[in-house]
Structure 1
Amino acid sequence: MKIFEFLEKKAVAKLKKEIKAASGNEVFFRGIPNEEGIVTDIEVIARGNEYSVAAVLNRMKKNEIIIHNHPSGLLVPSDNDVQISSVYGELGGGSYIVNNEVNDIYVLVSLKKHIKIDIDKYFGDLGIIRKKYPDFEIRDEQYKMSKDIEKSLNENKKALIEAGTGTGKTLAYLIPTLEYALENNLKAIISTNTINLQEQLINKDIPLVKELIGQDFKYTLVKGRGNYLCKRKLQNAIMEESDDSEDKEILLNLQKWNETTKYGDRNELRYGISFEIWEKVNCELDLCTNVKCPYFSSCYFFNARKEIGKSDLLVLNHHMFFADLSIRSEIGFNTDYSILPNYDILIFDEAHNIEDTARSYFTSEVSKYSFGKLMGNIYNKRVRNYNKSGIFVRALIYLKDNLSEEEYEIIDKVKEEEIIENLNKYYDKIIEIFDRFLLGFSKDSEQMEIKKRFDKDYIKSSSLWKEIMKLRKESVHLYSIMIKGLTKLTNEIDKFRLEDENGIIFDFKKYIERVKVFMKDLLYILDSDQEDHVYWTNINLRKGSIRIYATPFEVADDLEHNLFNKMDRILFTSATLAVEQKFDYYKKNIGLEKKGIIEEIIDSPFDYEKQMKVYIPDDTKDPNSLEFFSDVYDFIKKLVINTKGRCFLLFTSYSSLNFIYNKIRGELEKMGYTLLKQGELPRHEMIELFKIRDKAILFGTDSFWEGIDVQGDSLKSVVIVKLPFKSPEDPVTEAIIEYMRKNNQNPFMNYQIPQAVIKFKQGVGRLIRSKTDTGIVTILDNRVIKKAYGEKFLKSLPKTSIIRGNREYILKEEKRVKSEALSQKDSDVHKD
C-alpha cells in the first residue's frame, strides 16, 4: 500500500519522530484527518502495549483514526488491535497499523466516508418546501442558518449561531441535521432548556420535516428514569402499607393503572399524585435490579430505552444531557453504560443556558431534608408499623421468613439493637450539624431565605466553625461504628445467597451505599479546601430547610475535556449568545475558545422599527437607592393602565416583585385587572391565564425573562424594572468576582455585564414573537442611559426607535402611539 494515500508527509514525519523517541516501542496515536480522510496531523495518546480499549478510546474524537506501530514490522493485527478497531469502527472511526519506519501500513478499518449534503433543494420558489406547502413563508434568514449548519456538518465543525426571534431556527437546523444523519446512518440529539420547545419539536416541527424529507425515521422524546413506574417497587410499597391507610388506596389505584398503561409514564395519569407517593414507586438507577428483576421483561423504563436505541433523533432537556455527560466523564465518552446511546450529532437549542446547567451537575450538594428522608428509609424510629419502619426492619423480617432458625441465629448475633442504636446516634449527630449551620448562619437575619458562603477566613476562624468541626469529627467516629456494623451484617447475609426476588436485601444494601455517598459529599463540602470551588449554604427559615453546596467557579475545562474534545458536529444556537456582536464571552465561559468554529449572527426578520418602541424615562431615581421602587410605583401603575394590562413586569428579585405587587394589587383589582404573580400558580397555567384574561398583568422574575411565547394582542407591553445584574451577594456570583479579581481580571466588565446583557436581550425578546405583533418596552433603570456601560445594553436592542424623556412625556408619547395604532387598525378594517 502507498502510505501517502492515507497519511500526509508531515504526519509521517511526526510519526517517525515519536516512534524514535519511544526507542521503537509501541506507541498509539490519534490521527486527525482532513475532509478527504487523509491524516494531516497526529497526537500521542498512549505508549507501550499495556493498554485498555477504554483508555485509548477515551482520548479519541469521533471520525478520526487510531494509528499505532508494530515494532516487529509484522503488521498482522493482534486480538487487542481487532477489539479496539472494532469498537471504534462502530463509532465511525478508522484504525491503521504502521511499521517503525512508517513506510508500510495495514488498514484494519477504513475511515468512514461521510456523504455530503446540499439543502438547496428544500428552499427557493421551486424547492420542496414551497411545492409541499405553497403558503409556507420561507425566510432568507432561515435559509442562511440552514446553509451554515450544512457547512458545519459537511466539514465536521462546531457551529455557533445566534438566530434572532422569527428566524425559524428549529426548521433551519432540523432539515440539514436530519438530511445528514439519515444519509450517513448517524444518531442526532437535540437538547433544549424548556418543555415548551420540546413539545413544539415533537408535535410540530419534526413531523413537518419528516414530510419534507420524504424518508421514514424514528424520533423520541427522552424522559428521565424517574418518570416511569417501577413494578417491583410498586408491589413492595403495597405490601408495606397497612390496609386502612390513605396511601394504600392510592397505591392500589396505581396497581389498576399498571394493568392498563402501555408506557408507565407518570404523565399518562389522569389524576394528580403527590411527589412523596410517586417517589415510592418510580424507577431509580441505584435501586434497579436490572436483569435480576422479575419484571425486567416488561419494565417500562427499559422498554422506553429500547425505543431510544432504535431512534435516529432524540429530543431531551439540558439536565438530562448533562446527567448523561457526568456518567461519561467518569467511565469514558464512548460507552454503553450511560443514560443515552452513543450519538454523532449534537444540537444545543436555547444554548445560552448550558453553562448554568453544567455548573449544577458539577456541584456537590447535601441537605437536611434529603438526609432525614434517607435515614428514615433505612430505619424510622418514629413509626410503630413494622412494614413502614424502614428497609432495615423489612430486611430482618425477610431474613426471618427465609432462613432456618439456626441460620437466623447467625444473623441475630450481629445485634439488631446495637445497629439501630448506632443508626440513631449517627442520625442525631448529622442533624446537629445541619441545625448548627441553620442557627449560626441565620442569626440576626431578618430574611426568610438566606444564602451565605462559609469558605471565608473570618468564618473559618469563628467559634461557630470550631463547633461545626467538632461535630464533624464526632460524626466521622459514629459513622465508622455504624458502617462497620452494617457491613458485618451484609457480609453475613451474602453467605446465604438468597434469591431475594422482591429485592428487599438488594434495596437494603443500596441504601447503605447511599449513606456512604452522602457522607463522602458532606465531608467534601465541610472540608471546603478546593480553591476553584465556592462553599455555601441556602437556608429557608419558613420551611426550616438547609442545603450546603460546593460549586465550581468555571465549567469551561470540564466541558472542553469531557465533550468538546470528543466530537465536532455540535451546534449551539439561541436568540441570545452574543455580546456586542461577538461570541467571546460565551465561548470563554463554556470552553470553546479553539479556532475552526463556524460563527454567525443572524438578525431577526421582524421589522422592529415598525413593530416595537423602547421608552427610557430619564427622571427615575438611582435603581440602587432605597427610594427607587417607591419612586417608580405610580409610573408602573400608569404604564399598565395605558395598555389596559396586557403587560409583563419583569423584576430581578422576589422582594422587589412583592413590594410592587402588594402596593398595586388592591387598586388595580378594583379596576378589573387580573394580576398574576410568579409562584402562585405553575408557570404554564400563568401563561394560559394571561392569554385568555382581559387586562392581565404578569409579575415575573428570573425564569420569566425567557422561554415564554405570547403572540398577538394579549401582550402589548414589557416593563424591565431593573437591569438583570446577578446580585453580588449571591454566594456563587460573589466567589466568581473574587476569583476573577485574584486573576487580574475585571469581573464587572468581563462577567457581570455580559451576563446581564444576555438576560436583558431575553427579556426584551418576550414582546415581539411574530411579524404582526406590536408593542412597547419600557426600561425603568436609568443606568442604561446614565452609565457608560449602558451603551452595551442599548446596542443589544434590535434596530428600533428609542424614546427618552421624563415620565410625563413618555406617558403622553405612549398614548399618542397607541392612538395612532388604533386609527391605523380602523383604517385597515375599512380597507378590507
Structure 2
Amino acid sequence: VYSDTDNSLVVEAPNGSGKTFSYLMAYAYELYSGRKLVVATPTKVLQEQILKQEIPQLLRVTHLDLEAQIVKSSSHYLDLDGFYNSLYQTDNPIQQTLILQMGILIWLTETETGDLDELQLTNYQAPLFAAIEHPGDARIGTAFAEYDFWNLARSRQEQADILITNHAYLANHYMDSIWGQNPFLVVDEAHRFVENVASSRNDSLQFESFWGMCSHLRNLLFYAEDSAKVRFGNNIEFKIILDKLEKNTNDLIHSINKVQQALYDNRNFATSREDRIQNAVSLGFQGQDLFRSVPQFKRLLSQMQDNIEIVRQETNQLLFLLYHQQKNLLTSDDVLIRDLQEEIDHLDYYSEQNYLLLDQLSEPQKLDHEGFVLEISNEEDPLSTNLTWLMLDPEEEVQQLYQYFDKKLFISATLAQQDDFSYTIKNLYLDPEKTLTYRAKPSFKVEKHLKIYALSDNDAPEDPNNPEYEEFISNLLTQIKNYNHILVLFTNLDVIRDVFSKLSENNNLKDYEILAQGLTGSNEKIAKRFGIAEKAVLLGANSFWEGIDFKHN
C-alpha cells in the first residue's frame, strides 16, 4: 500500500502469475477522478495483449466503464493528403508502388483507424511510405482534415482513461498533454526501461545522405532535363533566386564536407574499432577525444547551420513563386513542387540533428554522457564519414520524466537479486527512501518444465572459432536422448550456420526437424513449424527465442 511519501513501487512477478491484470485492477478504481493510467511496455505484442485481452477481462470482472487506447508515433498512421497526392505522381510509376496503392485503396474502405500496422506489410521501407506516413502536424483546412486519422486518434486518446505506449515513445514525449494531469505510470518489463530510454535518444548526422540530398536538390534546380532552370530560367524573379541557390547549395555541400574531414582527421583517437565489409569501419569515441577542439567544431557546425538556413529560405522563396503561378502550370510541374517540399523537409531534419549536436558541444559536460561512433563506409575516403551519438547516462532525462507522473509502478519477472532490489532501484534512478518493493511468489516451478545444461566437457575446444568446435557440438547433440525438443543458444550466427550444416548431413537425425535462425525461414515460420515438429533441434541467438513459450508435446 502506498503512503503519502512513497513515490514508486518495484515489483517482481514471474511470467504467468497475472501481473498485468493485477496492476490494471489496482489502478482501475482510481481513474474516475479524471486521472489517467499510462502503461509503458517495450513491445507491440505486449501492447496488443494488454488492449485486446487484459483490459476486456478487467472490464468484464469490474463492470467499469473505462476506455483504453494505444499511443504510437504519427508515422504509423496514413496521411490522407499525402496518399491522395501520391496517386497523381504519374511520372515513371513503379509496379510495386501501384500494387501498394491499390491495396491501400481497398483497405481504406475497411479501416476505422488508418493505422498502417493493420496492413501487416513487410516493406514499410518502400519509397511510397515516405510520402504517405503522417508527419504528426494538426491538419487544418486541408482537403481531408475532417477525416485525418492522426487527429482522430489523438481525439480518442484524449478521451481515454488508459493509455498504452512503448518505452521509447514515452521517453521522447513524456511532456505531451495527451497523458493528462498528474497521471499514474506503470512501466512493464521495467528491467529494459532505462536501456530503451537511452536507445531512443540515438541521434545521427548521416553526412553522405545529406550531401547526396543536396546534390539531388541541385539536379531538380539546374541539371535535369525538366529542371527549374530549364522551365523558368527566363523569368527574372526565378532567375535571381536560382542564381543564389546555385552558389549556396555548393557552399552547403562544401560545409558538410569540411565537417566530415575534421571528424575523419581524429579517427586515430578512437577507443574501439570494428572492421566491416568492403573497407568500411566503425570507430567508437569518447566525446572529448572526437571533439578535441570544441571551438573548431562549433565553428564548422555553425557555418553548416547557416548554409542550411540560407538554402532553405531560398528554396521556400522559389516555392512561393511556383504556388503563385500554379494556375498556369502543367501537371508535370506539380511534381516539382512536391519534390521541392520534400527537400525542405529533409533540410529541416538535418538542421534539427545539427542543432542537437551543437547543443552537446555548447555544454562540454554533456560530452561525458554521450558515446560517439564514426561510421566510415570507405576508410580511405573522408567524405564517406558519418556520425552517430548515443546517450550513455540517461539519469537526468529519466528523472525529468518521473516528475510528470504519480504513483509509479515498475514491474517485471526479473528485478531482484536474491530478494535484493538495490541494483534495480539504482538502475532505475529511484529514491530508495521513497520506493517500496514486493516480490511475488512463482505460480509454478520452472525446474519441472525446463532443464538447462552448461557445457563443461574438458574435451571441448575453448575457441568457438576453431573448426573442431562445430564438430564437437554437432556430435554432442546427436547423443542427447529422451527429449522432444532441444534448444541450443549461440551468440555467433556463423557458428550456427556451420553446426546446422553438419547436423543436416547427419543420417542419424533424419527423423528430426532442425531449425536455425537465419537459415530455415522467418522467425514467424520457425515458430509455427516448431508447434508441429515431432522432434526438433533448434539453434538460435538468445534474443530470437525470448518470449517463445516452449511446451512439451
Structures share a fold, TM > 0.5? yes
Q: How does 1:295-310 map to 2 (within 5 A)?
A: 295-310=144-159
Q: Corresponding residue for 1:638?
A: 476
Describe the superposition over 1:675-723 as per-residue Cα deviations: whole angstroms up to 9, x where unpaired: 43334554334322322333333333252363x1324226xxxxxxxxx
1:190 and 2:16 aligned: no
Asked whether the equivalents of residues 557 and 591 of structure 1 are also in contact (C-alpha less than 8 Å), the reply is no
Q: What is the TM-score with the length of structure 1 in the denominator? A: 0.54
**Counterpart of 1:484 in structure 2: which amino acid?**
I
Q: How does 1:228-247 map to 2 (within 5 A)?
A: 228-246=77-95
Asked whether the equivalents of residues 241 and 247 of structure 1 are also in contact (C-alpha less than 8 Å), the reply is no
Q: Corresponding residue for 1:674?
A: 513
Rate the CA distance shift 1:413–1:297 in 2: closer, same or farther, 3 A: same
Q: What is the TM-score with the length of structure 2 in the denominator? A: 0.78
1:365 and 2:204 aligned: yes
TM-superposed deviation, 1:205: 1.6
TM-superposed deviation, 1:366: 2.7
Asked whether the equivalents of residues 515 and 539 of structure 2 are also in contact (C-alpha less than 8 Å), the reply is yes
Asked whether the equivalents of residues 191 and 321 of structure 1 are also in contact (C-alpha less than 8 Å), the reply is yes
Q: What is the rounded CA distance, in whole Å, between the counterparts of 1:647 and 1:540 in structure 2?
A: 40
Describe the superposition over 1:567-603 as per-residue Cα deviations: whole angstroms up to 9, x where unpaired: 3311111111122321111211221134122201123
Q: Corresponding residue for 1:170?
A: 20
Q: What is the rounded CA distance, in whole Å, between the counterparts of 2:541 and 2:283 in structure 1?
A: 21
Q: Which of 346, 355, 358 matches 1:520?
A: 355
Asked whether the equivalents of residues 359 and 551 of structure 1 are also in contact (C-alpha less than 8 Å), the reply is yes
1:455 and 2:286 aligned: yes
**Counterpart of 1:548 in structure 2: which amino acid?**
L
TM-superposed deviation, 1:411: 5.5
Q: Which of 398, 410, 413 matches 1:559?
A: 398
Q: What is the rounded CA distance, in whole Å, between the counterparts of 1:172 and 1:321 in structure 2?
A: 22
Identity %: 19
TM-superposed deviation, 1:623: 9.1
Q: How does 1:473-492 map to 2 (within 5 A)?
A: 477=303, 480-481=306-307, 483-488=309-314, 490=316
Rate the CA distance shift 1:577–1:546 in 2: closer, same or farther, 3 A: farther
Q: Corresponding residue for 2:9?
A: 159
**Counterpart of 1:202 in structure 2: which amino acid?**
L
CA RMSD of aligned residues (A): 4.7
TM-superposed deviation, 1:161: 0.4
TM-superposed deviation, 1:498: 6.2
Q: Corresponding residue for 1:217?
A: 66
Asked whether the equivalents of residues 194 and 398 of structure 2 are also in contact (C-alpha less than 8 Å), the reply is no
Describe the superposition over 1:124-165 as per-residue Cα deviations: whole angstroms up to 9, x where unpaired: xxxxxxxxxxxxxxxxxxxxxxxxxxx249986421001123
Rate the CA distance shift 1:433–1:685 in 2: closer, same or farther, 3 A: farther
- In structure 1, the residue corresponding to 2:416 is in which secondary structure? coil
Q: What is the rounded CA distance, in whole Å, between the counterparts of 1:161 and 1:354 in structure 2?
A: 14
TM-superposed deviation, 1:629: 8.3
1:354 and 2:180 aligned: no
Q: Corresponding residue for 1:604?
A: 442
- In structure 1, the residue corresponding to 2:411 is in which secondary structure? strand
1:344 and 2:175 aligned: no
Give ranges in structure 2 of 5+ residues lacking alignment. Answer: 328-333
TM-superposed deviation, 1:171: 1.5
Asked whether the equivalents of residues 691 and 710 of structure 1 are also in contact (C-alpha less than 8 Å), the reply is no
Asked whether the equivalents of residues 287 and 371 of structure 2 are also in contact (C-alpha less than 8 Å), the reply is no
Q: Which of 606, 610, 619 matches 2:457?
A: 619
Q: How does 1:216-615 map to 2 (within 5 A)?
A: 216-246=65-95, 249-250=98-99, 252-253=101-102, 256-257=105-106, 259-260=108-109, 261-269=111-119, 273-285=123-135, 288=137, 290-325=139-174, 328=175, 335-336=176-177, 341=180, 344-368=183-207, 371=210, 374-375=213-214, 378-379=217-218, 408-409=237-238, 412=241, 415-422=244-251, 424-425=253-254, 447-448=276-277, 451-455=282-286, 477=303, 480-481=306-307, 483-488=309-314, 490=316, 509-521=344-356, 530-538=367-375, 548-560=387-399, 562-615=400-453
TM-superposed deviation, 1:492: 8.1
**Counterpart of 1:487 in structure 2: which amino acid?**
Q
Q: How does 1:734-753 map to 2 (within 5 A)?
A: none
Q: Corresponding residue for 1:651?
A: 490
Asked whether the equivalents of residues 160 and 572 of structure 1 are also in contact (C-alpha less than 8 Å), the reply is yes
TM-superposed deviation, 1:432: 6.5
Rate the CA distance shift 1:621–1:589 in 2: closer, same or farther, 3 A: farther
**Counterpart of 1:688 in structure 2: which amino acid?**
K
Asked whether the equivalents of residues 207 and 256 of structure 2 are also in contact (C-alpha less than 8 Å), the reply is no
Q: What is the rounded CA distance, in whole Å, between the counterparts of 2:272 and 2:42 in structure 1?
A: 37
Q: Corresponding residue for 2:330?
A: none
TM-superposed deviation, 1:621: 7.1
**Counterpart of 2:244 in structure 1: which amino acid?**
K
Rate the CA distance shift 1:317–1:415 in 2: closer, same or farther, 3 A: same
Q: Corresponding residue for 1:100?
A: none
- In structure 2, the residue corresponding to 1:235 is in which secondary structure? helix
Give ranges in structure 1 of 5+ residues lacking alignment. Answer: 1-150, 329-334, 715-832
Q: Which has the larger radius of gyration?
A: 1
Describe the superposition over 1:479-532 as per-residue Cα deviations: whole angstroms up to 9, x where unpaired: 644643543554687799969999957655443322322333456679995123
- In structure 2, the residue corresponding to 1:569 is in which secondary structure? strand
Q: What is the rounded CA distance, in whole Å, between the counterparts of 1:709 and 1:350 in structure 2?
A: 16
Q: What is the rounded CA distance, in whole Å, between the counterparts of 1:276 and 1:436 in structure 2?
A: 36
**Counterpart of 1:415 in structure 2: which amino acid?**
K
Q: How does 1:704-783 map to 2 (within 5 A)?
A: 704=544, 706=546, 708-713=547-552
- In structure 2, the residue corresponding to 1:315 is in which secondary structure? strand
TM-superposed deviation, 1:359: 0.7
Describe the superposition over 1:442-470 as per-residue Cα deviations: whole angstroms up to 9, x where unpaired: 99976548543233888788xxxx9x999
Asked whether the equivalents of residues 555 and 589 of structure 1 are also in contact (C-alpha less than 8 Å), the reply is no
Q: Corresponding residue for 1:60?
A: none
